[in-house]
Amino acid sequence: MAHRIVTLPGDGIGPEIMAPTLELLDRLGDFEFEEHLFGGASIDAHGVALTDEVLAACRGADAVLLAAVGGPKWDTTDPARPRPEQGLLGLRKGLGLYANLRPVKPLPALYDASPLRRERIEGTDLLVVRELTGGIYFGEKTRTATSASDVCSYTTAEIERIARVAFEAARAKVTSVDKANVLETSRLWREVVSEVHSREFPHIQLEHVLVDNAAMQLVSSPRHFDTILTENMFGDILSDEAAMLTGSIGMLPSASLGADGPGMFEPVHGSAPDIAGQGLANPLAMFLSAAMLLRHGLGLASEAAAVELAVAGALAAGLRTPDLGGEAGTAHACKAVFENI
């Protein structure tokens, strides 16, 4: 039976990188795609970034594939106006996708594309496990004419379940990142992670690192890391930083998973409105997100590996999009990858 995938191209370069990704998937298996408006595109049509119908469609699918949302057209600081990002947050919360996996493994072909020296990044192979449905993103927000607040809160249960994901994913070591010298949520985080560790995963090494120090070590010694476990906002920031190890944020895929139900798969980069519609977008993070969909969403590990090998092969053969310092446009990049499938 065909795998049912809801596709959300979203805004900016989203549609340009989604279309070839569906072509790629079609070469690998039997899929039924159902496309919906999302983000800014949905605001324009329906006044909200995520409609109940689209959320219901996602719930009923085998997996959700998302490209990117947002753009200057919908940028606002007015809390009363809808923002495209609300769709993303609504989908994460609505599908219970508490675990966000962001693997960072620079490809040898791209060692010289990173702003960091080759000796620094060589051999880096880390995974950021970011808590995705709690913390300051989802706490109560207030706003008056002269003040504003965002509450950051975590429960023991929320920390336990994301800690388990990290310990299960780790090869040998988990680096739990917090700000326990300042934040109460971080002190609870540290205690709960330590308990889950000693009770259930004593064979895995655990270290606690403060977030500012982790940010430094990510660029000074990225090989130090195996699996980074962290809360929602720290994970957001550290994963953009880690992306540059791969040469470009245009290379980084992600998977968002819940306890049951479909997972959601999306590139870490945004909608890049500055290059939208010009055929310049790098589709590789989107292809690699489709690979994560195949592996984590549908259990199709060899199909996932085929995509990853094709991407690595195209880069090894010299493919470079503008974000990687080259001149290849989207169509050229797609052709180069398809040839290697």
Given the rule CB under 6 A, which residues bind ligand IPM?
85, 88, 236, 268
Extract the tokens encoding 278: 């010009």
Chain residues 271-330 in contact with Mg ion, contact rule CB under 5 A: none
Instruction: Tell me the sheet residues that pair with 267.
Output: 253
- The single residue of 26, 212, 274, 335 carrying the catalytic annotation is 212
Distances (CA, A) of 33 to 252, 291, 339: 23, 16, 23
**CB nearer Mg ion, residue 158 or residue 236:** 236
- Active-site residue 137, yes or no? yes
For position 231 contacting Mg ion by CB under 5 A, the verdict is no
- Active-site residue 111, yes or no? no
Residue with tokens 């079609």: 26
- Active-site residue 212, yes or no? yes
Mind giving me the DSSP string for 189-215? Answer: HHHHHHHHHHHH-TTSEEEEEEHHHHH
* Residue 164 CB burial class (10 angstroms; 0-12, 13-18, ≥19): middle
- 200 makes contact, choosing from ligand IPM, Mg ion, none, with CB < 5 to 8 Å by partner type, with none
- 88 makes contact, choosing from Mg ion, ligand IPM, none, with CB < 5 to 8 Å by partner type, with ligand IPM
CA distance 293 to 304: 8
Residue with tokens 């607040």: 149
The least CB distance from residue 215 to ligand IPM, in Å, is 15
- Active-site residue 240, yes or no? yes
Of these, 226, 236, 266, 323, which contacts Mg ion (CB under 5 A)? 236
- Active-site residue 105, yes or no? no
- 85 makes contact, choosing from ligand IPM, Mg ion, none, with CB < 5 to 8 Å by partner type, with ligand IPM
**CB nearer ligand IPM, residue 109 or residue 268:** 268
Residue with tokens 């008056």: 144
Which positions are annotated as active-site residues?
137, 179, 212, 236, 240
